[in-house]
Each structure stands twice: as structure tokens, then as C-alpha cells.
Amino acid sequence: MKIALLQMMVTADKEKNLKRAEELVNKAAQGGADMAVLPEMFNCPYDNAYFPEYAEPKGGETYRRLSEMAKENAIYVVGGSIPQIKENKIYNTSYTFDRQGNELHDYSKTHLFDIQVDGGQAFKESDTLTPGNGMGVFQTEFGLFGLGICFDVRFQSDWEMLQKQGALVCIVPGAFNMTTGPAHWELLFRARAVDNQLFMVGVSPARDLDFSYHAYGHSLVADPWGSVLTQLGFEEDIAIVSVDLERVASVRRQIPILSPPVME
């Protein structure tokens, strides 16, 4: 199958962001992609100050537009994430749609990004956001996929759970920054891929120095062997990556760490 990484530039104009997402999904479909993946918080700038203003209920404008993108292009769409408002609480939520525009998956970020790096990045999502209640998998014509959002990638036990549920590919809309990105972004995706012997796909916004939060970019795909199949830079870009799902079974057979043989 082919997965499109849509590393888009996010602005303070929600409509502009949605139109750009539509353009990129269409471009992905024209390029033969089976699935298009948008970045974390793709419809608003990544900043606590923006989340309440841009938050939408499930079924709102962004949700409907994502469904239409999937249906019109006959492509799976992983809608990055957006601020979702539910019962007066705001969540960092990702919606996934099938080729007919039907919802496949609804997930809210479990592990909120609360960090204070000495001499580096400080951020506290919990000032605004509420955590979700756990990760899960969704079915596609290609097999089971798992999904987490950004900071979730640091928690290996959750990805082991998705692997045990049958995930062959795990998708991570994320927005690492210029402190943690160079140090940990590629390392974590390769580690999760090797730990669980599956494909890991990370999609970030492009870096915009005009906003308070500077995303690292570098959207990537790591295979079950830990090899990086592609990695973008800082700028807005798109990559369509061929993913051979038979590679999962091959690597698991060669290095059987997930189901060790029973000793006599």
C-alpha cells in the first residue's frame, strides 16, 4: 500500500488550513496513495491560547470536511488531530475515515504534553486539554492499524498493546519541537518500530518561525527493521511512501521476539 505524509504549513486561518488540507489530500490521491495522513493540530496553530477558540464538537466543520476529502478522493484519511470540545472539556482528537467517508476511528490523546526541559522547551497541554481514555486499532482493507498522537509515542507499553491487538502499522500525528525533535523524534519512531516489529508513521506540521511553537517537521516512516524509509525536512512537503506489509511477518519470523518459541 501507499501512505501519503502531508506535512502542511498550519496558519491562524482555519479555512485556509482546511483548504490546504483538501489540496494535499487530492494531491495524495492523484499520486496513487491509499491513505493520507495530516499532522497534529492541522486546523489551528499549536498553542494553548488557540485550542479553546478553534475547538469544534464531533461532527463539526472540520469533521465534515475530512469525511468529504476521503469520499471525494476514495482514499483513507487520518485527520491528524484537532481541538475537540465535548461536555465543556477540550481534547486533542484524531478522526479517521474510510474511502467512502465513513468514520473508522475516533481517538483523543492519552498522554498530554507537559514538559519543562532545562534551557529548552516548556509546554503544558493540561492547562487547556483533557486526556482521552486509551489507544486502539481500526480495520482497513490492508489489515489493522493503530494510532496515537505525538507525546503518546514515548510510552512503549501502549504500542505493545496495539501490536498485541494486531496492528501492522501505527500512525502518529505529532508536533515535536526544536528541543525534543532533533534529540528524540527519529529515535522514538525507530525504537517503537523495532520493539513491536511494525511500521511507524509520524506526520508533523511544517516549521513556522512566526508562531510561538516551532514544530520540528521531519515526517517519516520507519519499517519493522528500524530502517527509515523516508524523512522530510522542516518545510511544507508531501511524501508518498510504499509500505510492504509482508515485511511485518518477515521480520517477526526472522527475529521472533514477540512470540518466543515454547521450550521443551
Which member of 14, 40, 125, 170 is catalytic? Answer: 40
**Helix 14-30, helix 61-73: angle, nearest 10:** 20
Cross-strand pairs, 147: 136, 171
Residue 41's region, left for phi above 0, alpha for psi from -120 to 50, else beta, is left
Residue 225 and residue 222: Cα distance in Å, rounded?
A: 8
Identify whether 150 is a catalytic site residue.
yes
Residue in the block written with cell 518545510: 235
Identify whether 86 is a catalytic site residue.
no
Identify whether 22 is a catalytic site residue.
no
Q: Cα angle at 105 between 218 and 59, to 5 degrees?
A: 100
Neighbours of 99 (CB within 10 A): 18
User: φ and ψ at 79, to 5 degrees?
Assistant: -80, 45
Copy the grid coordinates of residue 158: 501502549
Strands (E), the chain: 2-7, 35-37, 76-78, 82-86, 89-97, 103-108, 114-116, 122-124, 136-140, 143-147, 167-173, 199-203, 220-222, 228-231, 237-242
Which member of 44, 125, 150, 170 is catalytic? Answer: 150
- Cβ proximity of 137 and 160 under 8 Å: no
Copy the grid coordinates of residue 89: 472539556
Give the distance from CA 137 to its chain's centroid.
Answer: 13
Which member of 109, 125, 170, 186 is catalytic? Answer: 109
Would you name the residues annotated as active-site residues? 40, 109, 150
